[in-house]
Structure 1
Amino acid sequence: MLRLRLLTWDVKDTLLRLRRPVGESYAAEARAHGVRVQPEALSRAFREAYGAQNRQFPNYGQGQGLSSQQWWVDVVKQTFRLSGVHEEGILTLMAEKLYRDFCSACNWEVLPGAGETLSRCHQHGFHMGVVSNFDNRLENVLSQCNLRHHFEFVLTSEDAGFAKPDGRIFEKALRLGGVPPEQAAHIGDDYARDYRAARAVGMHSFLLRAAGQGEEPEVPPEHVLPTLSHLLARIEMG
């Protein structure tokens, strides 16, 4: 059995997921302002706008003078512009409303088994924290989704100043948890940012991957979680 004291968790698509595609949420907000845009077009435009913003201003513009709110407002406005909406007043209203909406449980839901697995990990005496490439709305999102109480700390890339797969965010989490890396494991759904990045600093890690998702040759089967409810058994096997 692995001698673990600290478990760190990714959030998006590990513990929480969006209730509906981004394009549908954006299209509904547009309709409320009398603007008709196809959800599929908005989803495509969002991927383009988000990618461009992330390349130009990585990690929410940390160190480049942007707040994460301004970063997101710019992404939303550009998404709508790419979809043919150019009225600046409406763009600002929609962007600010969507920024607030994505802070709440109306747009996020807990993945099956997440709450139960976190409770069982608590019962086994593990300390737990979050390590997420999220902005500073995450505390509120976790509270609204009734998960915040499971964690001793919530470390976002905005707070840390580094985004996964940068090892420094994991090193900061280890300091917050007060344990050496060999006594910690990270759980997440992304091979490079979660599984491999945590191992690079000496932590254990487990990769959440539903059946049928792509196989990564470097991940031994005992490190793969078909569902979160497999976690404790994997730790005991280790």
Structure 2
Amino acid sequence: MKLRALTLDLDDTLWPIAPTLLRAELRLHDWLLAHAPATAQRHGIEAMRALRADVARRQPQLAHDLSQLRRLSLVEALAASGDDTALAEPAFEVFFAARQEVDLYDEVGDALDRLASRYRLLAVSNGNADVRSTGLDRWFSGSVSARQAGVAKPDPRIFALACEALGCAPDAVMHVGDDHAADIVGARAAGLHSAWLRREPARAGQWQVDPDAPAGTGHHWVIGDLAVLADRLLAG
């Protein structure tokens, strides 16, 4: 396998997303308490989550743009509470800034140091984490987001755009991610190699060839963490 580059998912691959989002939601709620108290009282964190999910159902054409869905949710929450809808943008900025405060899984920093010493790394995400704001730009040459691509994983077009950004053919790229449907099925359909990251205690430090991967479609692995991926790729 003559790999030249790796594409990596971000949320739940490099850091846990649930505490990241909760911190951002709490930061947003505190801001609303100070600047739009009626909205904060009417829309607590759970209510805001439900509203955002409802907006996403009503706006399926925006499934690739989580930032815009969040903005629209804030506009609706403010309007329903009688607050100034112009506050939606500064409220979003508060959420977005906090959303970039991520806590990497323990092995990620060292593994990325090692992987970046041999391969170009590119982030490919359906989310709205920013490579520079999260501090990932020390390892990553750039990113391709669903918002930028106009489609979300598993659509093969986002992987094709990533390969174009890297200047690599698909068979010279391995995609790494935790979501089988979005990351692994999508990468395989686009002709990339894949590494399915399954962060389960029993799999820590483990590597195997994916027994369910179609024959003749490239190298497809199951890994327990990024350290074992670095071990495997840099062994030769």
TM-score, length of structure 1 as denominator length: 0.74
2:91 aligns to what SS in structure 1? helix
CA drift of 1:126 comes to 0.5
Alignment counterpart, residue 151 of structure 1, candidates 140, 165, 178: 140
Paired with 2:186 and 2:20, the residues of 1 have a C-alpha distance of 28
Structure 1's 102 and 27: CA in aligned 2 closer, same or farther, altered over 3 A?
closer
Alignment counterpart, residue 83 of structure 2, candidates 57, 81, 88: 88
Structure 1's 49 and 217: CA in aligned 2 closer, same or farther, altered over 3 A?
farther
The alignment of Structure 1 onto Structure 2 pairs a total of residues equal to 218
CA drift of 1:171 comes to 0.9
Q: Is the 8 A contact 1:110 1:145 kept in 2?
A: no
Paired position in structure 2 for 1:126? 119
1:206 aligns to what SS in structure 2? strand
Q: How does 1:54-65 map to 2 (within 5 A)?
A: 54-58=56-60, 60=62
1:230 maps to 2:219: no
Q: Deviations over 1:26-72 (max 9, x none)?
A: 43223323455499x523x344333333344346478xxxx976543
1:115 maps to 2:116: no
Paired position in structure 1 for 2:184? 195
Deviating 4+ runs (over 6 angstroms): none
TM-score, length of structure 2 as denominator length: 0.75
Give the letter for the 1:116 counterpart.
Answer: D
Q: How does 1:14-25 map to 2 (within 5 A)?
A: 14-16=13-15, 17=17, 18-19=19-20, 21=22, 23-25=25-27
Paired with 2:91 and 2:125, the residues of 1 have a C-alpha distance of 21
Paired position in structure 1 for 2:217? none
Q: Is the 8 A contact 1:130 1:155 kept in 2?
A: yes
2:81 aligns to what SS in structure 1? coil
Alignment counterpart, residue 97 of structure 1, candidates 71, 80, 90: 90
Alignment counterpart, residue 72 of structure 2, candidates 71, 74, 82: 74
Give the letter for the 1:201 counterpart.
Answer: A
Q: Is the 8 A contact 1:105 1:145 kept in 2?
A: no
Paired with 1:7 and 1:59, the residues of 2 have a C-alpha distance of 29
Paired with 1:46 and 1:189, the residues of 2 have a C-alpha distance of 26
CA drift of 1:130 comes to 1.4
Q: Which runs of 5+ in 1 are unaligned?
A: none
Root-mean-square deviation (Å): 3.5
CA drift of 1:120 comes to 0.9
Paired position in structure 1 for 2:170? 181
Q: Is the 8 A contact 1:42 1:80 kept in 2?
A: no
Q: Which runs of 5+ in 2 are unaligned?
A: 203-209, 215-219
